[in-house]
Amino acid sequence: MIFTFPHLGNTYIVAKAFLDDFNAQYIIPPFNTNKTLEIGSKYCSEANCLPFKLFVGNMLQASELGADAMLITGGCGPCKLGYFGEMLQKTADDIGINMELITLEVPDQGLKELNARVRKISGNTSFVNVVKVANSAKNVAIKIDNLERLMRIKRAREREKGSVDLIYRAFKNDIMKIKGSKNILEYIKLTENKLNDIKLNENANPLKIAVVGEIYTTIEPYANFELERILGNMGIEVERKVTVSDWIVNDMFRKGLHLPRDSSYVKASKAYLGRMVGGHTQHTIGNSVIHAQEGYDGIIHLYPLGCMPEIVSQAILPAIEEDHQIPIMTIIRDEMTGEAGFVTRLEAFVDLLKKRRGENIDGQSKLLYGY
């Protein structure tokens, strides 16, 4: 079996570590481009959301390269993600490609079925080894997210523009050749050191913008036009609380083992959102409140067109904007691939934030809304 998986930011490194440790054969699909989206949209009904279309694109491109099994994660919330596995399988069958979808979740049939699915990847290794590999994959995820966070901070302060991007490009290039979680972790450490050596602008006091919203659009650089890089190169520090490692730790491990989960965002969202409505709504609302209290200059809310849970968030965010006096801009991503319009909106938002900050220093606090 030759495995593949859909792209979600740097998750491919985690998946790579996971599959390497099992000595499984796999193919990393080409990174998301307009072509991926084009292929995906061709085989999907128009009402499907962007992540699904890109998943289909990834699946087809990987299939061309010889993959015949795709790993995805699942769920059973009201959000559509929980049904992606089945729909992808149906789409694959309809197109007529040979692809088996393996959903890594606890299915209706119970843990035995999950075990059987994991066995397809792991072969005949011992249970202890499976746990070990899963754990080291989790560690890779955490380290990668830390690396990304470090990059966001350095990018806003670097003395020579583009030094972070240079290191990151080299990292992306080299990581493909490195095998196994141990080596990957080492290489991440090395890159971290390189980043720490970058000369920084000591008295920089960058604007701080937080990104909230649907997990796929906020993390996948293609889906948000590399928002973090664009803002970072404008000299802005970007923060995003929803990460892959956070998802793996809280939603896969802790939830599965019934351990207490990080729920600060749930508490913060209580005043606006009565309870869970699926997707990342609670994260979006809760984290927006937390960010506002932490003194961020602005918040950008991202989601793909037709994402049901985030529509609920969007309706609630103006209340937070007003209560906490923080500008929030909602950007909805669809199949339109015009980057310039997106950048224009970002620039306008950033100008607004700069103006606000300037006015605050002069002792005025005029509220300007984010849209």
Partner 1 sequence: MIKVGIPRGLYYYKYSKLWETFFSELGAEVILSDKTNKNLLTDGANTCISEACLPIKIYFGHVMNLVGKVDIIFMPRFTSISKKQYICPEICGVPDMIKNSTKSLPRIIDTEINLRESNKNSWLAALRIGEFITRDRRKIKNAYKKALEAYRFERQILKSGVLTDEFMQDNVTLRMIKKRSTQFTVAVLGHCYTVYDSYINMELINKLRGYGFGVVTLDMLDYLESKLRCKELDKMLFWDYGTRAYGGVSQLIESGQVDGILVLTSFGCGVDSFVDELVEKKVRMESDIPFMKLVLDEHSAEAGFCTRLEAFVDMIIRRKTHDFYISTSR
Q: Which positions lie near partner 1, rule CB under 8 A?
A: 45, 47-49, 76-80, 82-83, 85-87, 89-90, 94, 103, 107-108, 272-279, 281, 305-309, 311-312, 314-316, 318-319, 332
Structure tokens at 22: 């099992």
- Closer to partner 1 at the Cβ: 118 or 316? 316
To the nearest whole angstrom, how small is the minimum distance from the Cβ of residue 291 to partner 1?
17
- How many Å apart are CA 347 and CA 223, to the nearest integer? 18
To the nearest whole angstrom, how small is the minimum distance from the Cβ of residue 150 to partner 1?
34
- Tell whether the torsion through CA atoms of 351, 357, 362 and 363 is positive or negative: positive
- Closer to partner 1 at the Cβ: 151 or 268? 268
- Closer to partner 1 at the Cβ: 180 or 306? 306
- Closer to partner 1 at the Cβ: 59 or 153? 59
- Closer to partner 1 at the Cβ: 274 or 363? 274
CA neighbor of 288 nearest in space, from 311, 269, 310: 269
- Closer to partner 1 at the Cβ: 206 or 279? 279
Which residues sit opposite 238 in a β-bridge? 209
Length of the chain: 371
Instruction: Give backbone dihedrals phi and psi of 336, rounded to 5 degrees, phi first.
Output: -65, 130
Q: What is the number of other CB atoms lying within 10 angstroms of the CB of residue 52?
A: 25
To the nearest whole angstrom, how small is the minimum distance from the Cβ of residue 47 to partner 1?
4
- How many Å apart are CA 56 and CA 50, to the nearest integer? 10
Q: Where are the alpha helices (DSSP H) in the chain?
A: 11-21, 34-42, 50-64, 84-95, 111-122, 127-157, 163-175, 181-196, 215-219, 227-233, 244-247, 255-256, 264-269, 281-293, 308-324, 339-361
